[in-house]
A and B are shown apart, each in its own frame.
Chain A
Amino acid sequence: NAGVTQTPKFQVLKTGQSMTLQCAQDMNHEYMSWYRQDPGMGLRLIHYSVGAGITDQGEVPNGYNVSRSTTEDFPLRLLSAAPSQTSVYFCASRPLQGRYGYTFGSGTRLTVV
Chain B
Amino acid sequence: AQKVTQAQTEISVVEKEDVTLDCVYETRDTTYYLFWYKQPPSGELVFLIRRNSFDEQNEISGRYSWNFQKSTSSFNFTITASQVVDSAVYFCALSESGQFYFGTGTSLTVIP
Interface residues of A (CB under 8 A from B): 33, 35, 40-43, 45, 88, 90, 92, 96-104, 106-107, 109
Contacts and interface: CB of A to CB of B under 8 A. Distances in A.
Interface of B: 9, 32-33, 35, 37, 43-45, 47, 50, 52, 91, 93, 95-100, 102-105
B33 A99 contact: yes
Contact of B91 (A40, A42, A45): A42
Given A42-B91, A42-B104, A42-B105, A98 B99 contact: yes
Contacts of B93: 101
Contact of A107 (B43, B50, B95): B43
Contacts of A92: 45
Nearest to A88: B43
Contacts of A104: 37, 44-45
23 contacts: A35-B102, A40-B9, A42-B104, A42-B105, A88-B43, A92-B45, A97-B98, A98-B32, A98-B96, A98-B97, A98-B99, A99-B50, A100-B50, A101-B35, A101-B47, A101-B50, A101-B95, A103-B47, A104-B44, A104-B45, A106-B44, A107-B43, A107-B44
